[in-house]
Amino acid sequence: MEFSFSSSTQKIVNSTAFTTLESGDALMIGIACLLVYLAIWKKFEPLLLLPMGFGCLLANVPMSMMASTDTGGLLNFFYQGIKHEVLPPIIFMGVGALTDFGPLLANPTVLLLGAAAQIGVYMTLIGAVFLGFNMQEASAIGIIGGADGPTSIFLASKLAPHLLAPIAVAAYSYMSLVPLIQPPIMRLLTTKEERKIKMEQLKPISQTVKIIFPVAVTIVCCLMLPGVTPLLGMFMLGNMFRESGVTARLHETAETHLINIVTIFLALAVGSSMTAESFLRLETLKIIALGLLAFAFATAGGVIFGRIMCKVSGGKVNPLIGSAGVSAVPMAARVSQKVGSEEDSSNFLLMHAMGPNVAGVIGSAVAAGVFLSLFGDVGSSIDTHAALAPVIGNPEAGIQALATVVEVIKQ
């Protein structure tokens, strides 16, 4: 090898990213800066969008080896944690450790509001199919209406990994826009009188019930929809750490440093999948548009079902708490409180809205479970995992059973 001054100079000049920087890369760097701007100055879910934007910035420096597709690169390494569905469940454990199910347990019928708000998911699914996405893709896009970041990322990585980046960006962005998107819809769909309804105070709940609840949810929901176990099970485990009263150490770690560490890695990895090739497509615009649809319909679904519950209960339920059924904890509950107190400043809906709010988290997880039951396929997961554990046992007996059944039905 020669190291003359001129040949070395040539080598350095050729290795700068400028020589291969294309307009797409530059545009993506601009988008990365926009995300960082929104995170910091507009406070759009900064814990996620700041590292996500920064990951996007790093990934789009040509030759930096930081894109999620650059085998051997740092962010590709973190990306394995999404691909193999390790990171979202750990985040969900932390969310569970942060969640108080008290208001939900005090008034369990609000679970119906968490179910009704899922209509946003399905309106979006239909819209996405209409716009040309296939069923798996449409499901992953629809779940944006679930307004839960980890659920969206988990489902997208299973059903439509090539759409992960725009779905994650849409999910977190609209979540931040909940205070802008929801109020007009809420006012449009309710009457002044309904908005003034004051709800009865919640009755206190035994600590024992709070402890048994996560186990009960796990058994009921996971037996019915096994595909969602990693997400819902870890969510409930985090809640057990919180409520059991005997695992304070684990609770503290799960809700602070562990969720923080995993958030950094997850957000960087999602950002690293935002390359020009995967993001600068018509699909991205479609997904952004569908995401808005998802949030709007989810809000409407919750509010309309709230009115139904209001009627049925003889005016005891303020329909404004329905909008909190989209989840986006605790933002959406605050919006219910705010819109309610605009009509009557002595109306305190926050605690009542926390019930549907956490119900919405369970609701979207269940919705994700339904999609996994219908369209889930573990092929890719097994392929990639093969590298980690060569001794592949029997690939998921359950799915094989399912396949057999499907075969039989077809005949």
Partner 1 sequence: MEASVSAAVNVSMLAMSVIFTVLIILIFTIKALVKLIPYEAPPAPPARKVSASSPPEQDDQVAAITASLAAHIGKRPDEFRIVNIQSR
Q: Which residues bind partner 1 (CB under 8 A)?
A: 1-5, 8-9, 12, 104-105, 108-109, 111-112, 114-115, 118-119, 121-123, 125-126, 128-130, 132-135, 138, 198, 200-206, 208-209, 212-213, 216-217, 220-221, 224-225, 334, 337-338, 341, 345-352, 359, 362-363, 366-367, 370-371, 374
> Of residues 360, 365, 366, 376, which one binds Na ion by CB under 5 A?
360
Task: Identify which range of 60-68, 229-237, 349-357, 359-367 contacts Na ion by CB under 5 A.
Answer: 359-367
Closest separation between CB of residue 213 and a copy of itself, Å? 12
Binder of residue 260, out of partner 1, Na ion, a copy of itself, none (CB less than 5 to 8 A by kind): a copy of itself
**Residue 363 binds a copy of itself (CB under 8 A):** no
Among 146, 233, 302, 376, binds Na ion (CB under 5 A): 146
Shortest approach of partner 1 to residue 105 CB, angstroms? 6
The stretch among 154-162, 324-332, 377-385, 394-402 that binds Na ion (CB under 5 A) is 324-332
Closest among 177, 241, 235, 254 to 360, alpha carbons compared: 235
Q: How far apart are CA 197 and CA 350, in angstroms?
A: 13
The window from 6-14, 178-186, 192-200, 286-294 that contacts a copy of itself (CB under 8 A) reads: 6-14
Region from 92-100, 143-151, 241-249, 314-322 binding Na ion, contact rule CB under 5 A: 143-151
Query: Rounded to the nearest whole angstrom, what is the least distance from the CB of residue 224 to partner 1 in the complex?
Result: 6
Question: Do 262 and 93 contact (CB within 8 A), yes or no?
Answer: no
Q: CB under 5 to 8 A by kind: which of a copy of itself, Na ion, partner 1, none does 33 bind? A: a copy of itself
Burial of 80 (0-12, 13-18, 19+ CB in 10 A): middle
> Which region among 76-84, 99-107, 165-173, 323-331 touches a copy of itself (by CB under 8 A)?
76-84
Quick one: which of 264, 280, 288, 289 contacts a copy of itself (CB under 8 A)? 264
CA–CA gap between residue 60 and residue 132 (Å, rounded): 28
| Secondary structure of residue 16 in the 3-state scheme | coil
Least Cα distance to 82 among 183, 184, 187, 161 occurs for 161
DSSP, res 390: -
Question: Which stretch in 12-20, 114-122, 308-316, 350-358 sits in contact with a copy of itself by CB under 8 A?
Answer: 12-20
- Cα separation, 120 vs 128, in Å, equals 12
Which residue lies nearer to partner 1 by CB, 80 or 341? Answer: 341
Q: Is 159:140 a contact under the CB 8 Å cutoff?
A: yes
Closest CA to 267 of 144, 153, 409, 122: 153
- Does 89 help bind Na ion (rule: CB under 5 A)? no
CB atoms within 10 A of CB 153: 27
Q: Extract the tokens encoding 97.
A: 């450790």
Number of H helices, E strands in the chain: 22, 0
Q: Does residue 100 interact with a copy of itself by CB under 8 A?
A: no
- Measured from the CB atom, the residue of 224 and 312 that comes closer to a copy of itself is 224
Nearer to a copy of itself, 346 or 394 (CB): 394
For Na ion, the binding residue among 111, 335, 364, 368 (CB under 5 A) is: 364
End-to-end CA distance of the chain: 67
Q: Give 84-98 as a 3 state SS string.
A: CCCHHHHHHHHHHHH
Q: Residue length, the chain? A: 411
Give me the helices (H) in 190-258, please. 192-196, 207-224, 229-243, 248-253
String of contacts with a copy of itself for each residue 372-411, x by CB under 8 A: -xx---x--xxxxxxxxxxxxx-xxxxx-xx--xx--x--
- By C-beta, is 135 or 288 nearer to partner 1? 135
Q: Is 291 in the site for Na ion (CB under 5 A)?
A: no
Q: Is the dihedral of CA 270, 271, 273, 279 positive or negative?
A: positive
CA dist., res. 133 & res. 313, Å (int): 41
Burial class (CB in 10 A: 0-12, 13-18, 19+), 162: middle
Q: Where do contacts with Na ion occur on this chain (CB under 5 A)? A: 146-147, 327, 360, 364
